[in-house]
Amino acid sequence: MINLLPYDENKQTRAARTNLILVRFIVFLGLGIGFLVLACIATYFLIIVIRSQNEEINKLNSDVTSSISTTTDPASNFKSNLITAKNIIDQQVPYYKILSSLSSALPAGTVIDSISIDDNTINSVLNIKIYSTTSGFETKVKEGFQKSPIFSDYQLIGTESPQTDQPGYKFSINISIKVNKAALL
C-alpha cells in the first residue's frame, strides 16, 4: 500500500497513535498504582484490626494469668500449711497409745492411782502407784511392762501393805518406767 498522505499529516497520525499508546499506558499505570494504594490501605486497616484483637487477647490472657496466679497463691499456701500441719501431727505423741499400752501391761484386778502424762514425761521417768486386790501381782506387772515396746527401764520403787486409799484394793506398789517416744511414732 502506498502512502499517499502528505508527510506532515503522516507524521501527525503517527504522533496521534503514539499518544494514544502513551495515554493507554498512563491510564493502566494509574489504575495499577491506584490498585496498589488501595491494597496498602486495606492491608494497613487489616493490620490495625488484627493488632487490636491481639491486644484484647493479650489483655484477656494477662487477666487469666493474674487470676491463675491469685488462685495458685492460696492453693500453694494451703499446701504448705497442710505440710506444716502434717509435720506437727507426726511429731505429736498419741497419748491414747500410752494409755492403751499401760492398760494392756497391767494384769486383771489392778488399778492405777493417778497418772499425769504430758510432753515433758515422754522419754523421762514416770512414777506410777498401782493398787491390786491380791498380793503377788508385782511379777505380772513387771512382765507386762517388759513385754511392751513403749515402756522401758522398769523399776520397783516400793511396796505398801493393806493401808490403801482405794476401797477393795488391799495391796499397792510404786514403780517407775520410761516412755519411749520412738515406739509411739
DSSP 8-state symbol, 118: -
The CATH number, out of the four listed (3.30.1360, 1.10.10, 3.30.70, 3.40.50), of the domain defined by the range 95-184: 3.30.1360
- CB burial of residue 47 (10 Å; 0-12, 13-18, 19+): exposed
Q: Give pTM, 2 decimals.
A: 0.51
Give pLDDT tens digits for 31-51. 999 999 999 999 999 999 999
Give pLDDT tens digits for 135-181. 888 888 888 888 888 888 888 888 776 565 667 778 888 888 888 87
> What does the block give as the cell for 4?
499517499
The number of C-alpha atoms within 13 Å of 177 and in the hemisphere containing its C-beta is 30
Domain residue spans of the chain: 1-91, 95-184
Continuous segment of H or E residues that includes residue 156: strand 151-160
